[in-house]
């Protein structure tokens, strides 16, 4: 099979050079291959794609459970459709890839490759929704979208093909749409918890999705102190339903346009898992998304070979009913090489089996997170290993939470200093003026106001009681960060 190359010489130091470390790890662990000759388009070898699909399966489970239905819509959007909502096309017109030719001839009407699917889906919702009895409609798809990013592309963070999941809902009232926003936020909170990526949700003030009335977005802090937007939950109001004429009849027969929301997350899930948990030996994967959760490495010589391998297979059989486990009995690599290899791949647990274990009916378990080694009895090994995986999952989320620093700051020089050094979220007071926001951005060289914490009304007081720039009474407590 295609080799996942774990080179012997080791990798970059994560702490001193996060960006190079990140690029090296995602290539060496087989998460992606950047050598496809088209900028911003990644190839996902099986290991990286399996991690992405694990994240997607977790999300799809949560969406199914809450009554969302998985559908499929075409990726080509005739120009007249994508132009129906003016602000929407305006937001995307510099980023759209256009299909203009079919075979040897120009197409009658050029088509956009979907940069997002509102305009595809809502053209159909117009036909599907008739009455209040049809509502709510909650649908989603897991596909990719295409955006000609003019900014510097970064693998898994800013690509021109984005592997994502987008959900779209339609409701009878603004109140119901607002409630749906909270369901979307709750789904994403559970998703990110399950993949061990801590996030904070903000009511965002800048960069709201083109065509949306408001947005709630989850953010996480990367190890270099910069902050990454991990998705968005958008309240679309009636803007699109009016443009696409998606109406329903009330019980009394009167008609109204539906109220809509949409939310999406992308391959940045994988980026965050790599960034938050990896170390100088490579990946560290949460068991929930690890393609292999447990690797069994038999250690033997010619004399002990038969007994050790047969015992290892036996252990594998016991474990395989409740976890993703494999035995690596390849002859051509040493146990030492295998240890390094599976550490690079971030396999959560390694089970070492030598003659001692085979004889004593035991197994030696080594954790990828902390390198701790423990020899346990074969009897009940399924339970022991399951428990260790559960514990690893919890510990990883808790550990990552501790890296999500938030500092309260009351003055510009301290803000400049923090944004320029350790980064993270910085909590400040703000008067609400656009000028002050602009000054904050330019003076900190990149520190931007994300927004207010979602679901919690934080009162300006104390250190964050005054606008950090003009010193007037603060209207909002906002979070500033240097964003990817």
Residues in touch with its own copies (CB under 8 A):
1-3, 33, 35-38, 41-46, 49-50, 52-53, 67, 69-76, 78, 81, 93-104, 110-111, 113, 120, 123-124, 127-129, 133-134, 136-139, 144, 146, 148, 150, 161, 163, 332
CB–CB of 375/353 below 8 Å?
no
Nearest to 450 by CA among 427, 423, 424, 478: 478
Q: Which is nearer to its own copies, 81 or 221 (CB)?
A: 81
Q: Which is nearer to its own copies, 131 or 362 (CB)?
A: 131
Nearest to 246 by CA among 142, 117, 135: 135
3-state secondary structure of 480: strand
Q: Which is nearer to its own copies, 45 or 420 (CB)?
A: 45
For residue 130, the minimal CB distance to its own copies (Å) is 8
Task: Give me Rg for the CA atoms of the chain.
Answer: 25
For residue 29, the minimal CB distance to its own copies (Å) is 15
For residue 300, the minimal CB distance to its own copies (Å) is 21
Q: Which is nearer to its own copies, 215 or 290 (CB)?
A: 290
Q: Which is nearer to its own copies, 81 or 215 (CB)?
A: 81
For residue 267, the minimal CB distance to its own copies (Å) is 10
For residue 387, the minimal CB distance to its own copies (Å) is 24
- The torsion angles phi and psi of 227, rounded to 5 degrees, stand at -110, 140
For residue 344, the minimal CB distance to its own copies (Å) is 17
Distances (CA, A) of 375 to 24, 322, 336, 362, 410: 33, 20, 19, 7, 52
For residue 446, the minimal CB distance to its own copies (Å) is 24
CA distance 65 to 53: 18
Q: Which is nearer to its own copies, 47 or 263 (CB)?
A: 47
Q: Which is nearer to its own copies, 145 or 449 (CB)?
A: 145
Q: Which residue has the tokens 């009681």?
A: 465
Judged on CB neighbours under 10 Å (0-12, 13-18, 19+), 72 is exposed
In sequence order, the β-bridge partners of residue 426 are 407, 480
> Tokens representing 104?
């040897």
Residue-wise DSSP of 150-190:
-SPPBTTTB-SEEEEEEEEEEESSHHHHHHHHHHHHHHHHH
């Amino acid at each position: 099979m295609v080799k996942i190359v774990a080179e012997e010489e080791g990798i970059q130091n994560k702490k001193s050079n996060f960006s190079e470390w990140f690029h090296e790890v995602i290539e060496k662990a087989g998460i992606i291959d950047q050598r496809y000759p088209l900028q911003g388009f990644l190839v996902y070898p099986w290991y990286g794609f399996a991690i992405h699909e694990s994240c997607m399966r977790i999300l799809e489970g949560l969406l199914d459970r809450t009554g969302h239905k998985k559908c499929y819509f075409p990726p080509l959007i005739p120009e007249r459709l994508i132009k129906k909502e003016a602000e929407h096309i305006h937001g995307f017109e510099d980023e759209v890839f256009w299909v203009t030719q079919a075979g040897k001839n120009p197409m009658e009407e050029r088509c956009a490759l979907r940069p997002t699917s509102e305009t595809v889906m809502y053209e159909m919702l117009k036909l599907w929704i008739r009455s209040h009895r049809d509502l709510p409609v909650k649908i989603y798809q897991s596909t990719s979208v295409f955006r000609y990013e003019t900014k510097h592309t970064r693998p898994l963070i800013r690509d021109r093909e984005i592997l994502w999941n987008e959900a779209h809902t339609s409701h009878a009232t603004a109140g119901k749409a607002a409630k749906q926003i909270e369901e979307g936020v709750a789904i994403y909170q559970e998703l990110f918890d399950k993949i061990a990526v801590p996030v904070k949700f903000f009511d965002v003030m800048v960069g709201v999705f083109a065509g949306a009335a408001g947005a709630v977005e989850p953010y996480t802090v990367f190890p270099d102190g910069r902050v990454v937007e991990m998705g968005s939950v958008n309240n679309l109001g009636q803007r699109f339903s009016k443009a696409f004429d998606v109406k329903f009849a009330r019980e009394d027969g009167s008609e109204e346009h539906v109220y809509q929301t949409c939310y999406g997350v992308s391959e940045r899930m994988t980026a965050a898992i790599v960034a938050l948990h990896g170390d100088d030996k490579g990946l560290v994967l949460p068991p929930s998304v690890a393609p292999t959760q447990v690797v069994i490495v038999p250690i033997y010589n010619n004399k002990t070979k038969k007994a050790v391998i047969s015992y290892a297979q036996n252990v594998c059989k016991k474990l395989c009913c409740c976890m993703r486990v494999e035995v690596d009995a390849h002859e051509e690599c040493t146990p030492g090489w295998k240890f390094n290899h599976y550490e690079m791949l971030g396999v959560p647990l390694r089970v070492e089996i030598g003659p001692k274990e085979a004889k004593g009916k035991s197994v030696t378990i080594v954790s990828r997170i902390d390198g701790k080694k423990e020899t346990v009895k074969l009897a009940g090994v399924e339970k022991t290993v399951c428990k260790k995986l559960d514990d690893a999952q919890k510990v990883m989320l808790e550990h990552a939470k501790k890296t999500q620093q938030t500092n309260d700051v009351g003055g510009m020089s301290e803000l400049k200093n923090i944004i320029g050094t350790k980064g993270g979220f910085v909590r400040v007071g703000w008067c609400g003026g656009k000028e002050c926001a602009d000054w904050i951005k330019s003076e900190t060289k990149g520190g931007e106001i994300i927004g207010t914490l979602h679901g919690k009304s934080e009162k300006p007081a104390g250190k964050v009681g005054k606008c950090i720039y003009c010193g007037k009474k603060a209207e909002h407590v906002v979070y500033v960060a240097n964003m990817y």
